[in-house]
A and B are shown apart, each in its own frame.
Chain A
Amino acid sequence: MIKILCYSLILFALCPLIGQSQDINFTASVDRTTMSPGEEFAYTIRISSDSVKGLPEPKFPSFADFEILSGPNTSQSFQFINGSMSREIVYTTILRSKRTGEFTIEPALIRAGNKEMKSESIKINVTQTPSQNLPSPLKDENIPSPSTSNEDLKKQLEGNLFFRTEISNKTPYVGEPVVLSYTLYALKGLPLSSVSPTDQVPQYGSFLKEDLYTAQRLSFREVKIDDKIYQAALIKQIILVPTKSGKTTPDPLSLQIVIRAPRQQTRSSRHPFFDDPFFNDSFPDPFGRDMERVLVQSPLTEMDVQPLPAPRPEDFTGTVGDYTISSSVDRRKATMDDLITLSLSLNGTGAVEGVLEPRLPALDGFELYETKAKADKKIVANTLGGSKTFDYVLRPQKSGDLEIPGISYAIFDPKKKSYVNLKTDPIRIAIDAGTARAPLIISGPSPASSSEGELVEINADINYIKRDLRTLHMRRSPLLEAGWFLGLQALPILFVLGSFYFMRRRYVLESDVGLARRLRARGVAGRRLKAASIALSRNNSDAFYTELASALRGYFGDKLNREPHGLTIEELSIMLKDRGIEDEWIKNICDLLETADAVRYTPVSHTPEEMRNHYDQASKIIQEFSKKL
């Protein structure tokens, strides 16, 4: 029980220490790397973790070559999947280029525990070169016209405000990541008031999606198209990984734009009075009636996803990308009692989370116990990549110098448009016999096999039986269902109630002396009568009558809240009469007190029978008056 008490007292102190290991992803990026002087761009740091612990604060690089317009603005997101939480914090800083030249933004830093992590350094090219005069994409890309209820405005916006989708590769292979960028173009000087996405969220049904950039604040750059100067702002950038071949069109993205419309359009409907120059456009309408909502939609851009070419290599599992492979083991010397972890790691560019497990060759002398996979995704320069590691837990089945053969893994490289065969080097491990026990037969969910229920021979190493049995507990219901246990819980409550009653009673007695004397009158009188009884047994007449008188006077003094020494027979007689006591009782009391006083102060003596008679009378009086007073 002491042990249990100690556990309970220390466990709360320990609770905050129960932590988990923290895997942190850390990247820094900009929305563009080439721009003209005075142009704004966003520098974004993303820190994410699958742990609940606080994420570390980044140490920002110096932005001495740029002007900081705002930030760092922080946004935080949480994701719950199967009860596990992941958390991401995004720091966005809006910068403006000051002068031409090539600048480098140094890596940002974070410190997670004892580990320091660095982001990539980013090169920014600020050039004075006038924008290239690009051909209009309007016809080629079927860009929808802006939609608004104001027909005049619609005509004016035609070709001057549009939303464009750019796809890095329109004919990717299945599993090859492509970057999809949504850019808003507005003719320079167009009075845009606000831009916000509509409720219509695009669906990318046959793709896996990874968010790359979402504009928190529009950052415009100037672009020349058909000799017109446009302001272009990147709205959203995502990476899509096609999961099936064939022609497919991602859903368009829509934006709602509020434009300050020219007054001329609305003036015709107004009273001529308002045509006075006093009400010209320089006065903004306080009710916003010259604001127009315009809906712009990105064009439907078709992609033709190519199937992976046939024939496929035998050991191809479906991984697409540009990867290198490496393998390692956690120990080169082990015993048959040990578990060995073989780690197989693929590093490179591609959808790392979709990298599939290699098919292991026959491992002579090893039993595959468990496989774990862990992906570490990174986005560098708008390219999806990172690493994926497969940990195979192996148990040696025999001793000697064993070899894990080289593992062959075929991938499809979309840049080379061909299959590439990756292979690891063989690994040799020296195995000692150890204290390995004979293999056991255990059925059920063997980690090495998916065919559950079938008997599978594995070296399942369960702990041995116990023999330390001092007492055999017979089955009984839990304490909480036992009536006696629940009933006993009432005892402490009764103790508290009793104590409370005791405290109240003590308080009342201390504050009311009369009541206190009344309550203890009988007890005090009883003690004096007992002393009288002793004197009676010794035939001591003086002592007997002294005690008898003292008992009666004391009793009535306590009951009537008077000092017994000053209580005369006459006074007592009057007070009893006032309380409605019958004359016969008063006479008896007075007679008895007079008799007792007479014996005490005169040489009168009484026989023992008379004394016994007087004793009985006194007892009867005290007993009777306990009810009457």
Chain B
Amino acid sequence: MSRYPAKNGLLSIMMCLGALFMPLAFAEETSFAPNDIKAQFDHANQLYDQNKFDKAREIYEALVSQGVNDPVVLYNLGNASARMGDTGSAVFYYTRALRLAPRDRDMKENLYRLEPSINRSNSFFLLRPLGWVKNLLSLDEWSLLTSLLFVLSCAFLGLKFIHKKERLIRIFQKAAIFFSLLFLVHASFLSFRMYEELIVKTAIVMKGDTLARSGPGDQFEELYKLPAGTKVRIISKPQNAWIRIRLMDGRSAFLPLTEIRNVGFE
């Protein structure tokens, strides 16, 4: 081992990475394009081209209900909904598509055009650059990247312990510190993203002029009307088929459960 330390070090890192990410290769096997699904998708696109948006939407929805979770299918479904005048559904599907493909400009632009301005309420000025960075990668991409940095920092730390040569130990130690710092930064962004997608439940108001009330029932005071596509955060458990929500500008109210749809993993 001590005769070819550099070679052995590289080999160790590659073995570590291989062991960690090998299952991903098998995981990818769950993504496939069976001919019938691809054919259905192409058929829906043709119907969309012929302005038969309702038929196209039915097929896209069937694909999603079969378990297809592809951002392109969700985006096309959002487009078909938008053409049919269903802004709530369009915003819902664009939001879901963007969670899977956060850097897609078409999805961002369409969502920006359709969502109500209340969704874009100003965040605290210091958080804006952080929000931009956070939205650069999807949750899974942040997870993989953070995990990779964790492996690299552990690998270099382990090599520092194994090797006897002072020069190599110093190199491995610096590399371990560098990757550990990167890991901590990425882990912070992963935490933000995880909080937003897995812990805080986000929903979209599906119908226009949805009445937000001060309590869980029709007898409570009407506070304001929400346009279709309004993004809300669910802040309590349902009570009598009503749920307490918070708007992006911080105001809270109650909405009927039937008027909203959860964007999270269903």
Residues of A within 8 A of B (CB): 1, 4-5, 7-8, 11-12, 15, 18, 52, 82-85, 440-445, 452-455, 460-482, 484-485, 488-489, 491-493, 495-496, 498-500, 502-503, 506
The answer on a CB contact under 8 Å between A488 and B23 is yes
Chain B residues lying within 8 Å of A5, measured Cβ to Cβ, are 145, 148
CA distance A8 to B136 in the complex (A): 9
Q: Check A467/B137 contact, CB under 8 A, given A484-B23, A485-B143.
A: no
Residues of B within 8 A of A (CB): 12, 16, 19-20, 23, 27, 30-34, 37-38, 41-42, 45, 48, 63, 67-70, 72-73, 75-76, 79-80, 82-83, 85-88, 100, 106, 109-110, 113-117, 121-126, 128-129, 132-133, 136-137, 139-141, 143-145, 147-148, 150-151, 153-155, 157-162, 164, 182, 185-186, 190, 194, 197-198, 207-209, 225, 227-229, 249, 265
- Rounded to whole Å, the gap between the CB of B72 and the closest CB of chain A is 5
Chain A residues lying within 8 Å of B123, measured Cβ to Cβ, are 83
- Rounded to whole Å, the gap between the CB of A22 and the closest CB of chain B is 12
The answer on a CB contact under 8 Å between B141 and A4 is yes
Chain A residues lying within 8 Å of B33, measured Cβ to Cβ, are 469-472
CA distance A473 to B28 in the complex (A): 9
Q: Check A473/B116 contact, CB under 8 A, given A452-B208, A463-B109, A495-B154.
A: no
Chain B residues lying within 8 Å of A470, measured Cβ to Cβ, are 33
CA distance A442 to B70 in the complex (A): 25
The answer on a CB contact under 8 Å between B31 and A464 is no
CA distance A462 to B109 in the complex (A): 8
Q: Across the two chains, which residue of chain A brings its CB closest to B137?
A: A4
CA distance A274 to B151 in the complex (A): 86
User: 17 A-B contacts, Cβ less than 8 Å apart?
Assistant: A1-B148, A441-B83, A445-B227, A460-B113, A465-B45, A466-B72, A468-B72, A469-B33, A471-B33, A472-B33, A485-B23, A485-B143, A489-B150, A491-B16, A493-B154, A496-B154, A499-B161
CA distance A461 to B83 in the complex (A): 10
Chain B residues lying within 8 Å of A454, measured Cβ to Cβ, are 208
CA distance A470 to B73 in the complex (A): 12
- Rounded to whole Å, the gap between the CB of A470 and the closest CB of chain B is 7
Q: Across the two chains, which residue of chain B brings its CB closest to A443?
A: B85
Of B38, B72, B141, B228, which one neighbours A443 at CB under 8 angstroms?
Answer: B228
Chain A residues lying within 8 Å of B75, measured Cβ to Cβ, are 465-466
CA distance A185 to B39 in the complex (A): 90
Among A453, A467, A495, which residue has the most Cβ atoms of chain B within 10 A? A495
Chain B residues lying within 8 Å of A445, measured Cβ to Cβ, are 87, 114-117, 208, 227-229
Chain A residues lying within 8 Å of B207, measured Cβ to Cβ, are 453
Among A454, A470, A475, which residue has the most Cβ atoms of chain B within 10 A? A475
The answer on a CB contact under 8 Å between A465 and B76 is yes
CA distance A395 to B242 in the complex (A): 41
Q: Across the two chains, which residue of chain B brings its CB closest to A80?
A: B124
The answer on a CB contact under 8 Å between A18 and B38 is no
The answer on a CB contact under 8 Å between A460 and B154 is no
Q: Check A492/B69 contact, CB under 8 A, given A453-B209, A474-B32.
A: no
- Rounded to whole Å, the gap between the CB of A437 and the closest CB of chain B is 11
CA distance A461 to B112 in the complex (A): 12
Of A52, A442, A469, A478, which one neighbours B114 at CB under 8 angstroms?
Answer: A442
Q: Across the two chains, which residue of chain B brings its CB closest to A51?
A: B125
Of A4, A444, A482, A496, which one neighbours B208 at CB under 8 angstroms?
Answer: A444
Q: A442-B82, A465-B79 given. 10 additional CB < 8 A pairs?
A: A11-B136, A442-B85, A443-B208, A464-B106, A470-B33, A472-B63, A474-B30, A489-B20, A492-B153, A498-B158
Chain A residues lying within 8 Å of B117, measured Cβ to Cβ, are 445
Chain B residues lying within 8 Å of A473, measured Cβ to Cβ, are 30-31, 68-70, 100
The answer on a CB contact under 8 Å between A444 and B38 is no
The answer on a CB contact under 8 Å between A499 and B158 is yes
Q: Across the two chains, which residue of chain B brings its CB closest to A479?
A: B143
Of A8, A468, A492, which one neighbours B155 at CB under 8 angstroms?
Answer: A492
Q: Check A7/B136 contact, CB under 8 A, given A480-B143, A480-B194.
A: yes
- Rounded to whole Å, the gap between the CB of A5 and the closest CB of chain B is 7
CA distance A84 to B144 in the complex (A): 34
- Rounded to whole Å, the gap between the CB of B188 and the closest CB of chain A is 12
The answer on a CB contact under 8 Å between B113 and A462 is yes
Chain A residues lying within 8 Å of B158, measured Cβ to Cβ, are 492, 495-496, 498-500
CA distance A89 to B154 in the complex (A): 50
CA distance A491 to B73 in the complex (A): 36
Of A455, A488, A496, which one neighbours B20 at CB under 8 angstroms?
Answer: A488
For the complex of A and B, the 6 pairs showing the least CB-CB separation, nearest first, are: A444-B87, A453-B208, A492-B154, A499-B158, A443-B85, A499-B161
CA distance A294 to B140 in the complex (A): 69
CA distance A553 to B113 in the complex (A): 89
Chain B residues lying within 8 Å of A506, measured Cβ to Cβ, are 164
- Rounded to whole Å, the gap between the CB of B76 and the closest CB of chain A is 4
The answer on a CB contact under 8 Å between B208 and A469 is no
CA distance A13 to B70 in the complex (A): 32
- Rounded to whole Å, the gap between the CB of B62 and the closest CB of chain A is 13
Chain B residues lying within 8 Å of A462, measured Cβ to Cβ, are 79, 82, 109-110, 113-114
CA distance A128 to B79 in the complex (A): 79
CA distance A91 to B88 in the complex (A): 51
The answer on a CB contact under 8 Å between B85 and A502 is no
Q: Across the two chains, which residue of chain B brings its CB closest to A504?
A: B161
- Rounded to whole Å, the gap between the CB of B231 and the closest CB of chain A is 12
The answer on a CB contact under 8 Å between B209 and A15 is no
- Rounded to whole Å, the gap between the CB of A14 and the closest CB of chain B is 9
CA distance A467 to B31 in the complex (A): 17
Chain B residues lying within 8 Å of A468, measured Cβ to Cβ, are 72
Chain A residues lying within 8 Å of B16, measured Cβ to Cβ, are 491-492, 495
Chain A residues lying within 8 Å of B27, measured Cβ to Cβ, are 476, 482
The answer on a CB contact under 8 Å between B121 and A82 is yes
CA distance A464 to B107 in the complex (A): 10
Chain B residues lying within 8 Å of A503, measured Cβ to Cβ, are 161-162
CA distance A472 to B60 in the complex (A): 12
Of B80, B124, B144, B229, which one neighbours A444 at CB under 8 angstroms?
Answer: B229
Q: Across the two chains, which residue of chain A brings its CB closest to B101?
A: A466
The answer on a CB contact under 8 Å between A442 and B161 is no
Of A444, A460, A472, A492, which one neighbours B228 at CB under 8 angstroms?
Answer: A444
Chain B residues lying within 8 Å of A467, measured Cβ to Cβ, are 42, 45
Q: Across the two chains, which residue of chain A brings its CB closest to B85?
A: A443
- Rounded to whole Å, the gap between the CB of B36 and the closest CB of chain A is 11
Chain A residues lying within 8 Å of B150, measured Cβ to Cβ, are 489, 492
- Rounded to whole Å, the gap between the CB of A608 and the closest CB of chain B is 42
- Rounded to whole Å, the gap between the CB of B13 and the closest CB of chain A is 10
Chain A residues lying within 8 Å of B164, measured Cβ to Cβ, are 506
- Rounded to whole Å, the gap between the CB of B154 and the closest CB of chain A is 3
Of A8, A472, A479, which one neighbours B32 at CB under 8 angstroms?
Answer: A472
- Rounded to whole Å, the gap between the CB of A467 and the closest CB of chain B is 6
CA distance A471 to B28 in the complex (A): 10
The answer on a CB contact under 8 Å between B121 and A83 is yes
Chain B residues lying within 8 Å of A460, measured Cβ to Cβ, are 82, 113-114
- Rounded to whole Å, the gap between the CB of B58 and the closest CB of chain A is 15
CA distance A468 to B198 in the complex (A): 29
CA distance A498 to B15 in the complex (A): 15
CA distance A503 to B136 in the complex (A): 41
CA distance A528 to B59 in the complex (A): 76
The answer on a CB contact under 8 Å between B72 and A478 is no
Chain B residues lying within 8 Å of A496, measured Cβ to Cβ, are 154, 157-158, 161
CA distance A454 to B208 in the complex (A): 8
- Rounded to whole Å, the gap between the CB of A510 and the closest CB of chain B is 10
